[in-house]
C-alpha cells in the first residue's frame, strides 16, 4: 500500500472511530429521562420549607432540592402557586413536580415519590394560650364542637378528614397565615398544621405567648417529599433523584442547610 493510501486509511479509521464514539454518547445522553428538558416545579409558601420570594431564606426544601438538581445537571424553574392549585398542576402534568408533600393515597395515584424523603414532620393543633388549661384532645370526639382551621388541600390524615367532613366543623384557607389570624381573632378554635410551620408563623406574626402548639396528642408524623408527575417524569429519573438526595445528605452543605432552618 502506498504511503499516501496508508495515511488516508488511517484518517478514515480515526473518523469512523470518532463517529462511533459520538453516536454512542448521543444515544446515552438522548435516553437520559430529562434530555433537553427544563423541569417546571410548583411550590407553595410553607415555612420553613419553602418561600422562594425570600432570596436569603428560600426554604429548607428549596435549598436541598436546588443542590440535588444541580449535582444531577438538571435545569428547572420554580413557580409559586396556592397549595391546592400546585397539586392540580402536578396531577395533570402542567407541572413536573411539587414540594413539599406528605404521602397520601390520592397523591400516589398521580405522582411518584422518591424512596428518600426530604425531612420528617408532624401535624399538630395550635390553640390560643388562654385555652391551654381547658383544651382537651384525647380523641377526635373532643373536637366535635370545635371549629378547626386547615389549609386547603393539606393531607393531614385520612382519619382527620373523615372526622371533620362528617361533623362539618372545619374552615379551609389558601395560606396558613390566614388561619392564625382567624385563631387570634377567635373566629376558629384551633389550627391544624405542621409543627415547624406553625412555630415559624407564631414568631413571624408576633404571636409568641398568645398561640401555642398542643403537643399532648400528635395527629400524624410522617416523611416529607418532592413528588413527581406520572404524566411527565419517568421512574428512572425519580430513582436517580432519590440516590442523589441520599448522597447529598451525607455532605457538610446539607448539614449547614439543616442548621440554618431548624437550629
Give the model confidence (pLDDT) of 153-177 as tens digits.
888 999 999 999 999 999 999 888 9
Candidates 174, 207, 191, 228; CA nearest to 45 is: 174
Rounded to whole angstroms, the Cα distance separating 215 from 170 reads: 20
Kindly state the percentage of the chain with pLDDT values over 90. 82
Mean residue pLDDT across the chain:
89
Q: According to the per-residue pLDDT averaged within each range, which of 7-11, 26-30, 88-92 is highest?
A: 88-92
Residue 129, pLDDT above cutoff 50: yes
- Residue 10: band (very low, low, confident or very high) from pLDDT cuts 50, 70, 90: low
For residue 14, the model assigns a pLDDT of: 54
- What nine digits make up the cell of 98? 411539587
pLDDT in tens, 192-248: 999 999 999 999 999 999 999 999 999 999 999 999 999 999 999 999 999 999 999
What domains sit in the chain, N to C, each tagged with a CATH number? 38-120+222-262 (3.40.190.10), 122-221 (3.40.190.10)
| Residue 48 in this model has a pLDDT that exceeds 70 | yes
Higher-confidence residue of 28 and 33: namely 33
pLDDT tens figures, 58-72: 999 999 999 999 999
pLDDT attached to residue 155 = 87
Q: Per-residue confidence at 4, pLDDT binned at 50, 70, 90?
A: low
User: What local confidence, expressed as pLDDT, does residue 13 receive?
Assistant: 45
CA 56 to chain centre: 19
pLDDT of residue 26: 39
Residue 20 has pLDDT above 90, yes or no: no
Asked if residue 88 has pLDDT above 80, the reply is yes
For residue 28, pLDDT over 50 is answered with: no
Would the pTM of this model clear 0.85, i.e. be above it?
A: no
Amino acid at each position: 500500500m502506498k504511503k499516501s493510501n496508508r495515511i488516508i486509511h488511517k484518517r478514515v479509521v480515526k473518523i469512523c472511530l470518532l463517529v462511533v464514539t459520538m453516536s454512542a454518547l448521543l444515544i446515552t445522553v438522548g435516553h437520559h429521562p430529562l434530555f433537553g428538558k427544563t423541569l417546571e416545579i410548583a411550590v407553595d409558601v410553607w415555612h420553613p420549607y419553602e418561600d422562594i420570594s425570600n432570596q436569603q431564606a428560600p426554604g429548607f426544601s428549596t435549598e436541598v432540592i436546588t443542590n440535588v438538581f444541580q449535582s444531577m445537571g438538571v435545569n428547572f424553574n420554580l413557580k409559586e402557586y396556592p397549595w391546592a392549585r400546585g397539586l392540580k398542576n402536578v396531577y395533570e402534568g402542567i407541572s413536573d413536580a411539587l414540594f413539599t408533600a406528605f404521602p397520601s393515597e390520592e397523591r400516589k395515584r398521580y405522582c411518584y415519590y422518591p424512596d428518600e424523603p426530604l425531612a420528617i414532620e408532624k401535624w399538630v393543633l395550635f390553640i390560643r394560650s388562654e385555652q391551654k388549661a381547658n383544651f382537651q384532645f384525647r380523641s377526635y370526639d373532643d373536637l366535635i364542637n370545635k371549629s378547626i382551621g386547615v389549609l386547603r388541600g393539606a393531607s393531614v390524615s385520612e382519619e382527620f378528614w373523615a372526622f371533620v367532613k362528617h361533623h362539618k366543623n372545619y374552615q379551609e384557607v389558601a395560606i396558613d397565615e390566614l388561619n392564625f389570624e382567624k385563631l387570634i381573632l377567635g373566629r376558629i378554635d384551633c389550627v391544624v398544621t405542621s409543627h415547624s410551620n406553625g412555630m415559624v408563623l407564631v414568631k413571624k406574626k408576633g404571636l409568641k405567648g398568645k398561640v401555642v402548639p398542643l403537643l399532648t396528642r400528635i395527629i400524624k408524623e410522617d416523611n416529607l417529599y418532592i413528588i413527581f408527575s406520572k404524566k411527565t417524569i419517568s421512574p428512572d429519573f425519580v430513582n436517580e433523584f432519590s440516590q442523589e438526595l441520599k448522597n447529598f445528605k451525607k455532605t457538610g452543605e446539607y448539614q449547614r442547610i439543616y442548621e440554618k432552618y431548624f437550629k
